[in-house]
Amino acid sequence: MPAHLPAHNRRQFLATVGAGLIACSSRGFAGDVDDELVYLLNDTHIGEKHPPHSPVPTHLRQVVTELVEMSEKPAAVLINGDLALHDGQPGDYRHFAKLVAPLRDVNVDVHVTLGNHDNREAFYDVLEEERPADPPVESRHISVVSTPHANFFLLDSLTKTLVTPGTLGEQQRQWLAEALDAHADRPAIIVAHHNPRLGGDPLHFPGGLVDSQELWQLLADRRHVKAYVHGHVHDRTYAAHEGIHIINTPATSYVADPAKSTTGWTVARLRPDGITLTTRTTDPLHPWNGEQTTLTWRN
């Protein structure tokens, strides 16, 4: 369920287009914005009662500090689900909002989706101004974040709080098909919390999005769809299915086995024919820190 936490002092372009689509564009801001740059986070798992300097909130604070200190800001920060620690308590979102507030103060726009540990109503009770008055799909909050080199389609894969698998549903998939057709002018990147249940090279993690096959049927034939970005599994992997890159970005909060994975975030630099992903780890000495992966879009 995407929501948007726009910077206090930046001019937002908001327009209703297509099938009730809300498009948010980073273009038109002052010259201190690098419109090729997007930061990707997921699985922040912020809890109300986390001590201020315990690892989980400290990890999110690291990203915020890095962004605040940059001379050029990214076009957007996307936080892809599981904002809250366990079951989406109001205090979790109050703590989360406090941690990301410095980004708004330095003109960085933050866009979030919700995952299976989130709660829609609690989130909107805390950030009441983010509740859409007329959502394009009932009980789903969906949008597009536009940058010069790609449109990011933020989807709602939250089925129910603490229900691990995710779904999009027929109505949201129909909306997505219409929105993709209305925005075929540049590469499309799909963003949802849950990983797809698909094969690929290598075989991708089998859990996650229940209606993955139905989703891929509408994505594969639309050649401007280039990538699917997800979190949920607290790891980092790259795969592909029918030419569409599947980008699993690292969790910001914690991992099950530190010997196999680590926490961090992803710096994405867009270009017309692809994307370069740089892993930033919360442990600056981890071997993944600074690693780059360059992906080229299918024709």
pLDDT band at 30 (very low <50, low <70, confident <90, very high): very low
Q: Which amino acid is at 123?
A: F
Q: How far is CA 61 from the centre of its chain?
A: 17
The mean-pLDDT minimum among 17-26, 46-55, 188-197 falls in 17-26
Q: Which residue has the higher pLDDT, 133 or 27?
A: 133
Only one residue has tokens 């096959």, namely 213
Decide if 206 contacts 165 (C-beta within 8 A).
no
Enumerate the H helices of the chain as residue ranges: 55-69, 90-105, 120-126, 170-182, 212-220
pLDDT for 273-293, tens place per residue?
999 999 999 999 999 999 999
**Confidence band (pLDDT; 50, 70, 90) for 9?**
very low
Please state the pTM of the whole predicted model. Answer: 0.92
Average pLDDT over residues 165-177: 96
Strand, helix or coil at 14?
A: strand
Place of tokens 């790259």: 238
Q: What is the pLDDT of residues 209-219, one digit of tens each?
A: 999 999 999 99
List of domains in the chain? 3-296 (3.60.21.10)
Give pLDDT tens digits for 57-83.
999 999 999 999 999 999 999 999 999
Report d(CA 289, CA 110) in Å as an integer: 23
Packed helices 55-69 and 90-105: angle between N→C axes, nearest 10 degrees: 20
Q: Is 162 left (phi over 0), alpha (psi -120 to 50) or beta?
A: left
d(CA 89, CA 161): 11
Half-sphere exposure of 104 (CA within 13 A, CB side): 14
